[in-house]
Structure 1
Amino acid sequence: MTETGTKRYRALFISDVHLGTRGCQADKLLDFLRQHDAETIYLVGDIVDGWALRSSWYWPQAHNDVVQKLLRQARKGARMIYIPGNHDEFLRGGYYGTHFGGIEVQESAIHEGADGRRYLVVHGDIFDLVVTQARWLALLGDKAYDFALTANRLFNALRRIFGAPYWSLSKWAKHKVKNAVNYIGAFEKALATEASRHKVDGVICGHIHTAAMHDDYGLRYINCGDWVESCTAIAEHHDGKFEIITWTQLSADYQPSLELAQKAA
């Protein structure tokens, strides 16, 4: 930790922020970025939600502050790599290999850990058949997810009145509905297969809003999660160990709450 209280890592991986949507918890991400820094920061897709912005413009000051903070970190020397996802697909194609404000745009990346292990870094939507083969269904699902988040806010407002803790409807459905569980497993297996094809030791991705770290398919699978509900990021320490960080409160009343998942062996 530095003198200013900022924790420094070898690398940070952030995905699925969805700037431009009402569900984005930009204030928590900004608080996280103020207290965490890294030599390399990977933006692993769906940072800006172009789908949402095309249908209705929503861009409060907090969303602009996140962008400015990332640009400042790049100017201060952090290597910033942006790998677009399906929601920020406007940065794909002709933008690969370009730089803006010190941020590199790449289709995918190979991250070499401090221990020499190599990881394919990719958003992951190209391995989601709903996105690639039935775009209309993906857009419909996106609207349903937005509705679930709105209903969730109203439901939890009532829970707060009665002193009950936060409860996530969409997260409950994601883990309880059999087809959703099967979908997550199929997605993880597809990403692991792609990593094997690249002859690397693991894969780091986003897309499905479910933070995870495991070796179930013979190599390391790491998912960044999201900044809509779970507010998670992946950090690589200088000794090569990886950690899932769950950021649940703002600094004004923040008590350290780090969810330490499996570490690299």
Structure 2
Amino acid sequence: MGMGHYRTLFISDVHLGTRASQADQLLDFLRETEADTIYLVGDIIDFWRIRRGAIWPQAQNDVLQKLLRKVRKGTRIVFIPGNHDEGLRPYCGQHFGGIELEHQAVHTTADGKRYLVIHGDEFDVVVRYARWLAFLGDRGYELALWMNHPLNFIRRRFGLGYWSLSAHLKLRVKTAVNFIGEFEKSLSDEARRHEVDGVICGHIHHAASRDMEGVHYLNCGDWVESCTAIGERADGSFEMIRWLDVVREREQKTAAKLAEALQVA
């Protein structure tokens, strides 16, 4: 589950340069998985946060090194910048360290289906028409993300699993749920305009795989709260990879083996 070799991997919204980025989890994921092609679907590096002073622990550096090492070993990596790393958009069409920068792409699956790959911020009214509102929202969101750390420190002390306050708040706010619906519809409409079978995007930190009136809508999610990615298998089918579930399963197996060993002893 979630480990092994994929034809294609899609990862978005890692937000390197922020305290909230779960780079250690992503590094673990990249070590455990291989792919012929990896699409980085935007907001990989958070230049909005870096302008205010970067948070750059070793794990975040290791993620970039790991990706570059994968390129050297033959993995094709396509980076589609998002709004948080939009400073890279003028360089689309160029290669950096073997990584291809593209504004958007059309990916063809093993079974011949075509998917538009796009970050998606162009279809977010808040980002497009009121950037100051987006920045304001970014600060509030950052505060909720910051609260995740002390909350989960306490939860761990009581033997409870990871829980995201920011994700919980986002899905409890009616306007956020409506916004997600509008975003999904806009991206699906864009896929229809491109006459493709589906769309793979990021931006709203909400992993999904659903049929939108004949268009397959896929959202990578993020590596800030949910630690999700999309994997295309050899037959062209897609899998929603929820890495925290994989890690939890792994830890349970290790604990069971340890308990078994102690009983034998």
1:182–1:253: structure 2 CA closer, same or farther, 3 Å change rule?
Answer: closer
Displacement of 1:217 after TM fit?
3.2
Q: 2:24 aligns with which of 10, 27, 42?
A: 27
Q: One-letter code of the match for 1:247?
A: W
Q: Say yes or no: does 1:17 pair with 2:14.
A: yes
Partner of 2:224: 228
Could you tell me how far 1:168 is from its partner in structure 2? 1.6
Equivalent residue for 1:96? 92
Residue 252 (structure 1) shift? 11
Following the alignment from structure 1 to structure 2, what is the Cα–Cα distance between the partners of residues 118 and 24?
Answer: 31
8 A contact 2:188–2:212 mirrored in 1 = no
Shift in Å, 1:172: 1.2
Residue by residue, what CA displacement relative to the aligned partner does 1:31-78 show, whole Å, maximum 9, x if unpaired?
000011111100000000000001112211111100000001011111
Q: Does 1:201 align with 2:197?
A: yes
What TM-score does the superposition give when structure 2 sets the normalisation length?
Answer: 0.91
Q: Which position in structure 1 is the counterpart of 2:146?
A: 150
Q: Check conservation: 2:12, 2:40, Cα contact below 8 A.
A: yes
Residue matched to 1:240: 236
Correspondence 1:243-258 to 2 at 5 A: 243-248=239-244, 254-255=250-251
Q: Is the 8 A contact 1:204 1:222 kept in 2?
A: yes
Greater Cα offset, 49-58 or 184-193: 49-58
1:61 maps to amino acid = Q
Q: 1:62 to 1:106 in 2, by over 3 A?
A: same
Q: For the structure 1 residues 65 and 253, does the alpha-carbon distance in structure 2 shift closer, same or farther, using more than 3 Å as the test?
A: farther
Q: Which residue of 1 aligns with 2:184?
A: 188
State how far apart, in whole Å, the 1-side matches of 2:127 and 2:64 are.
26
User: Following the alignment from structure 1 to structure 2, what is the Cα–Cα distance between the partners of residues 215 and 124?
Assistant: 18
50, 59, 64: which is aligned to 2:61?
64
Q: Distance in 2 between matches of 1:215 and 1:256?
A: 34
CA distance in 1, matches of 2:152, 2:251: 22
Report the secondary structure of 2:212's partner residue.
coil
Contact 1:189 1:217 in 2 (8 A): no
Does 2:125 correspond to 1:129? yes
1:136–1:192 Cα change, 3 Å: same
Classify the secondary structure of the residue corresponding to 1:248. helix
Q: What is the RMSD computed on CA atoms of the aligned residues?
A: 1.9
**Considering only CA atoms, is the larger Rg found in Structure 1 or Structure 2?**
2
Deviation at 1:127, TM superposition (A): 0.3
Give the match for residue 86 of structure 1. 83
For the residues of structure 2 that align with 1:39 and 1:120, how far apart are their CA atoms?
A: 18
| Cα deviation, residue 175, structure 1 | 1.4
What TM-score, normalized to structure 1?
0.91
Q: 1:137 to 1:246 in 2, by over 3 A?
A: same
- Residue by residue, what CA displacement relative to the aligned partner does 1:153-194 show, whole Å, maximum 9, x if unpaired? 112222222333322211111212111100000000000000
- Count matched residues: 252
Matched, 1:42 2:39: yes
State the 1:215 CA deviation.
Answer: 0.2
C-alpha distance in structure 2 between counterparts of 1:160 and 1:79, whole Å: 38
The one-letter code matched in structure 2 to 1:38 is: A
Deviations 1:118-157 (A, max 9, x none): 0000000000010010000101111111100111211222
Q: Is the 8 A contact 1:249 1:255 kept in 2?
A: no
Partner residue, 2:161: 165
C-alpha distance in 1 between matches for 2:233 and 2:69: 22
One-letter code aligned to 1:151: M
Is the contact made by 1:109 and 1:120 (CA closer than 8 Å) also made in structure 2? yes
The DSSP-based 3-state class of the residue aligned with 1:92 is helix
Contact 1:111-1:120 at 8 Å conserved across structures:
yes
Residue 118 of structure 2 aligns with an amino acid whose one-letter code is V
